[in-house]
Amino acid sequence: MISSFFPPQRTLMGPGPSDVSPRVLGALARPTIGHLDPLFVQLMDEIKELLQFAFQTKNELTLPISAPGSAGMEACFVNLLSPGDKVIVCQNGVFGGRMKENVERCGATAIMVEDTWGEPVSIGKVVTAFDQHPDASILAFVHAETSTGVCSDAAALCALARGRGALSIVDTVTSLGGIEVLADDWGADAVYSGTQKCLSCVPGISPVTFSARAVDRINNRVHKVQSWFLDMQLIMGYWGGSSKRAYHHTAPVNDLYALHESLIMLQEEGLEATHQRHRRNHEGLVAGLEAMGLAMAVAPEFRLPQLNSVLIPEGVDDAALRTTLLQEFSLEIGAGLGALAGKTWRIGLMGFASNERNVVYCLNALEAVLDGQNAAINTGVALPAARAALKR
């Protein structure tokens, strides 16, 4: 007979999910109420307001999609694209490729702007793409590329799109809550994220926000949205109604309790303070890694503090090291993806997991396992270097 499942207590320092705050886990266990209960409707309004704070936007159409970040991505594309549209898609990692898939499945054409994995999106290449395709109606890019640990210039890219009369779709799955996301200041038109990274929440929800320009495009569609579940004109009747809400789907009530609690925590800490915390812990981790003799895969000016991409030393067995970390230290770090598979590790310091204890624990464990593989590293110096950086 199958028994109840009781997972071990892991330290999650990969690309996500990240460690979930006990406050958020506690919120999950609160009594379930109906998804049209007046009290739940009140909670929905509070979640919208808290997400507006997180995205730094006044967009009325700001809400959580009842599915993971990939559904948030798809919601943006299927609602804004129609067959025959041209979309400039920036790819400097795995998730730009997923954008291309969404464009093509909508019957639109993807104009690819490709950059080396580990480098930000080139503004100049995007300018050239618009010059060559002036009829492109959307620019899509990843702000914080989870597969590489690189941050691209969202403000410049959104401004470029708007200057060419195009809408912008922005992936902030790894950035929201970790670094600045300024939807209104950027002039971004459709922005999506996920709950399982810097928001310290469980996986399964995708916050999205749409500008007034994006809503106007949605309201004036000629073709039906290809996804019934992600059709914002239908969802708005449930999430956007000012009076009686129209039933659309049964919202994941307890998951939304968790999101509400995580956003309350973000509000309490403050955006500037949470960004500073991510930056400080990143600097401590990098100082320790570099003292150990490891090298970062991304130039300092483009690094994400919440997702650290580290070059694997020559001769180190990547899979064996990560397996040992998981089995002996109950510590998860991420493998490289795509072109970086077997070449990098991805060490997350996201949300609740971004703390000094995790920095120290990760450095200790990594040094022990690398030393066990007879890797050419410096021992005994990582922690002093990290602690010195954390004090600055």
Task: Say if 209 falls within a structural domain.
Answer: yes
pTM score of the predicted model: 0.96
The last residue of one of the domains, among 250, 268, 286, is 268
**Are residues 294 and 238 both part of a single domain?**
no
User: What pLDDT was estimated at residue 57?
Assistant: 98
**Are residues 174 and 318 both part of a single domain?**
no
Task: Say if 383 falls within a structural domain.
Answer: yes
Task: Say if 201 falls within a structural domain.
Answer: yes
Average pLDDT per run of 10 along the chain, which is 392 residues long?
Answer: 96 97 97 94 96 98 96 98 97 96 97 97 98 98 97 98 98 98 98 97 98 97 94 90 79 97 98 98 98 98 98 96 98 94 97 98 98 95 97 88
**Are residues 335 and 188 both part of a single domain?**
no
The last residue of one of the domains, among 268, 302, 318, is 268
Host domain of residue 358: 271-391
Residues 6+ apart with CB under 8 A from 77: 99, 102, 103, 106, 140, 169
The last residue of one of the domains, among 268, 297, 318, is 268
User: What pLDDT was estimated at residue 241?
Assistant: 62
| Alpha helix (H) residue ranges in the chain | 22-28, 38-55, 69-80, 94-105, 123-132, 154-163, 183-186, 212-219, 232-239, 253-269, 271-292, 318-329, 356-372, 382-391
Report the candidate in 143, 81, 141, 80 with the shortest Cα–Cα distance to residue 114. 141
User: What pLDDT was estimated at residue 244?
Assistant: 73
**Are residues 181 and 311 both part of a single domain?**
no
**Are residues 333 and 277 both part of a single domain?**
yes
